[in-house]
Amino acid sequence: MRTRSLGEGLVVSSLGLGGMPMSLAGRPSEQQSIAVIHAALDGGITLIDTADVYCIDDDDIGHNERLIAKALKAWRGDRAKVLVATKGGLRRPKGAWETDARPERLRAACEASLRALGVERIALYQLHAPDPAVPFEESVGELARLRGEGKVAHVGLSNVSVAELDAARSIVPIASVQNRCNVLDRRAFESGVIARCEALGIGFLAYSPVGGSRGRAGLAANATLGEIAARHGASPEEIAIAWLLARSPVIVPIPGASKPTSIASILRSASIQLSPEDLARLG
């Protein structure tokens, strides 16, 4: 698989794997999830994105991180080439999603993630989302301190604006931005976040690249996507991921998966070459 550069010299596969579907309610068996991760790694994916809150509730914090650590330990490939990115700054009380990016909370979350992943330093640690109750600079400042202490190698941001990205960069080097982006949700383009990442040489991790479970219905109903997919012998989801790859060299889509068969589809999307006409019609 081809590679793409994030900031600070990080190089990863052009596609990543999002771990969330393997740890929410209704999740697959551990055996199946490990098979999913191994299929992705065997296919050349070198970036796995997770978070401490990819779980059922606060009593289950770190489930996805522990799952990934177990899968990596059992994998026979070169684990040194795999970058695991995780996030802190949310909580899951009774299954809800709530921001909590207080410095002391981020520190505790980072240390728990170190234990869950079984590593001495997290390769890429991302602020999951700005917390309206906490000054943004205080949250980012704690990530800078964790980086200075060697607990975090690189810092990333998620769910941020251009202004927040620039504010964070004045505190600590930023390697990546992770926002929602897909062919039917283009706010990351419209807001200028992707253009800013391009100008700065920062990687953009596109989450929900096919829109999640609800988004897939929208893709399937889109006549233009369906027509282009049929011409390429592909699915609308594969075309949606290929569109992201074609739109910018800094974009790394991170589709989630819970079945090994989904990995085969994700990998096919990386080989689809959309024509200028395809891109114009989707534009």
CA 118 vs. chain centroid, Å, equals 20
**Whole-angstrom Cα distance, residue 219 to residue 106?**
36
**Whole-angstrom Cα distance, residue 238 to residue 186?**
17
- Cα–Cα distances (Å) from 157 to 126, 195, 225, 247, in that order, read 5, 16, 31, 21
Would you call 229 helix, strand, or coil by DSSP? helix
**Identity of residue 37:** I
- Cβ neighbours of residue 148 under 8 Å, at least 6 residues apart? none
Angle between helices 162-169 and 193-200 (to 10 degrees): 30
User: Does the active-site annotation cover 54?
Assistant: yes
> What is the 3-state composition of the chain as percent helix, strand, coil, each rounded to the nearest 5?
50, 20, 35
Would you call 237 helix, strand, or coil by DSSP? helix
**Whole-angstrom Cα distance, residue 164 to residue 261?**
38
- Triad 222, 223, 226: Cα angle to 5°: 90
**Whole-angstrom Cα distance, residue 11 to residue 21?**
25
Given 7, 54, 136, 193, the catalytic residue: 54
List helix spans (H) across the chain.
30-42, 63-74, 103-117, 136-148, 162-169, 187-190, 193-200, 212-221, 223-232, 236-247, 260-269, 276-282
Task: Report, as residue numbers or ranges, the catalytic residues.
Answer: 54
